[in-house]
Structure 1
Amino acid sequence: MWGFGDAYERYVGRWSRPVAVEFLRWLDAPPGRTWLDVGCGTGALTETVLAHARPAAITGIDPSEGFLERARQRVPGATFEVGNATDLGGRTADVVVSGLVLTFVPDAAQAVAEFARAGSYVGSYLWDYTSGMRMMRLFWDAAKDVDPAAASHDEGLRFSDVSGAGPLRALWTGAGLRDVEVTGIVVPTVFRDFADFWEPFLGGTGAAPAYAATLPPEQLDAVRDLLRSRLPGEGPIELTAKAWAVRGSR
């Protein structure tokens, strides 16, 4: 479900950039350092580091060639390589970061241990899937009303052991990192109209779009119609997205 960079951009990539800006302000890493962006996806965080953090150099790694292809096109000032969060292949950097990644890593504790081995400053952020990422929460609530089996796919339930302030703090301290801090970041997500809200769920990239792709047409239409009834009928749809951010040092 992570093969297509353009589909991811329309779904949540466009909202990850403003979160990345706020995350880097809060991370407050010194300039002139080397950076490693783990699970860089289409390059939203990598691009923001180049624009705001004055790095000496930055490398982004991701297992998806489709995402890396998009990242190379849009962020020419960075290096992008195929890589895995739980085995960084001996890579090191002054600052190791990951954005919106750990919920999709099979062993989050092993990944954070690798981050701590590789970097002196380690930071990450994840969507608050339980209630803070409104576009996803609205989708899953409607999907479960139409198809009760959707509960087994709901990110708010599946990722509750990772995407929260307590779990992130525990992962960072468990990896031996010091001065661990956690904060919430909230950004606006404004959709032009209902089509701008709904159509990204049809792209197949991401947990909710991947689930939507499994539905028969009549159920998918029912989810769409229920969502339409719960959102403003005209004009922009103004929602918010919340992420949890964590930082620590070795």
Structure 2
Amino acid sequence: MADAKISFTDGAAYERLMGVWSRFAGEIFLDWLEPPSDLRWIDIGCGNGAFTEVLVDRCNPVEVQGIDPSEEQLIFARTRPASRVAEFRRGDAMALPFPAGRFDAAVMALVVVFVPDPARGVEEMVRVVRPGGIVATYVWDMVGGGFPLDPILGEMRAMGLAPPRPPQVDVSRLKALQDLWTGAGLEAVEVREIAVTRTFADFDDFWAINTKSPMLAPTLAAMPSVDVERLKSRVRTGLPADSQRHITCAARAHAVKGRRLK
């Protein structure tokens, strides 16, 4: 695959595609963090607010600041029930618009591989939390076969196609995440895998939802229709349906957490 800029601008499409996956993984992630209630959170790369909604529902925060570069995604996020607690604004993960020690917890959901300089992004997370504060992320295992789009991406690669990919996929490795967190001076660093599954109504449902991804759509749009149908057939063969035509897919995320030194 080729490195290229990937922009998520359609909040509703993202909700159908990755928002569902993000919530599945996010619930396990938050259970693992075991945060107390009444914390001040920053959700960096909040996108359309899918994870933010889980955070508000499960953690009883006193404040959540959601930061993302896409105003289109933020417009969708502001329509969520989470907006009763969360404020959504544009911002850069590598230059957060907040003073040092402003929050009790800083999190990223499925974002760190898109940050041009992940180490700088983690430094910013550390900077804006108080001493003893939580710094954590989860991200799809994009190297080891855990990405939800892998059933399509794998067949595209087999056909000699090169759709764009996030610029920092190697950061999704467990060891790389652990090294980032320890390199940022965090203590009590732990990592884990998060395994989730998702069931689609049938193959057409799977195809319609997943091919809207900005990682796939531009390449598919440039392909001759006969090649698109060949790709679709290959993917269908690799995803057998159950007796009710349902398609169940598995994905795997890697997570890391630590605390700022007191």
Specify every segment of 5 or more residues in structure 1 that has no aligned partner in the other structure, as ranges. Answer: none
The letter for the 2-side match of 1:175 is: A
Specify every segment of 5 or more residues in structure 2 that has no aligned partner in the other structure, as ranges. Answer: 1-6
Give the corresponding residue for 1:124: 137
Secondary structure at 1:69's aligned position in 2? helix
Pairing 1:160-171 to 2, within 5 Å after superposition? 160-171=169-180
Measure the CA separation in 2 of the matches of 1:44 and 1:10.
Answer: 10
Q: Number of residues paired by the alignment? A: 245
Measure the CA separation in 1 of the matches of 2:59 and 2:186.
Answer: 22
Give the corresponding residue for 2:20: 14
The 1:49–1:239 alpha-carbon spacing in structure 2 relative to 1, beyond 3 Å, is same
Shift of 1:134: 5.6
The 1:239–1:233 alpha-carbon spacing in structure 2 relative to 1, beyond 3 Å, is closer
The 1:36–1:154 alpha-carbon spacing in structure 2 relative to 1, beyond 3 Å, is closer
Give the corresponding residue for 1:84: 92
Measure the CA separation in 2 of the matches of 1:87 and 1:202.
Answer: 32
Shift of 1:64: 0.5
Pairing 1:27-106 to 2, within 5 Å after superposition? 27-74=33-80, 75-77=82-84, 78-91=86-99, 92-106=102-116
Give the corresponding residue for 1:182: 191
Shift of 1:233: 4.9
The one-character-per-residue Cα deviations of 1:122-147 (angstroms, maximum 9, x if unpaired) are 0100001234436422111111122x
Q: Does 1:244 align with 2:251?
A: no
Shift of 1:56: 1.1
Measure the CA separation in 2 of the matches of 1:56 and 1:233.
Answer: 44
Secondary structure at 1:190's aligned position in 2? strand
The letter for the 2-side match of 1:217 is: S
Query: What is the percentage of aligned positions where both structures have the same residue?
Result: 37
Moved more, 209-218 or 69-78: 209-218
Give the corresponding residue for 1:212: 220
Secondary structure at 2:149's aligned position in 1? helix
Q: Is contact 1:41-1:62 (8 Å) kept?
A: yes
Moved more, 106-115 or 1-10: 1-10
TM-score (structure 1 length as normaliser): 0.91
The one-character-per-residue Cα deviations of 1:40-76 (angstroms, maximum 9, x if unpaired) are 0111111111111111111101000111011110132
The letter for the 2-side match of 1:153 is: P
Measure the CA separation in 1 of the matches of 2:23 and 2:45.
Answer: 15
Secondary structure at 1:113's aligned position in 2? helix
Secondary structure at 2:83's aligned position in 1? coil
- Larger helix proportion, structure 1 or 2? 1
Measure the CA separation in 1 of the matches of 2:216 and 2:193.
Answer: 23
Measure the CA separation in 1 of the matches of 2:13 and 2:115.
Answer: 20
Moved more, 214-223 or 17-26: 214-223
Measure the CA separation in 2 of the matches of 1:160 and 1:142.
Answer: 19
The letter for the 2-side match of 1:201 is: N
Q: Does 1:112 align with 2:122?
A: yes
Secondary structure at 2:139's aligned position in 1? strand
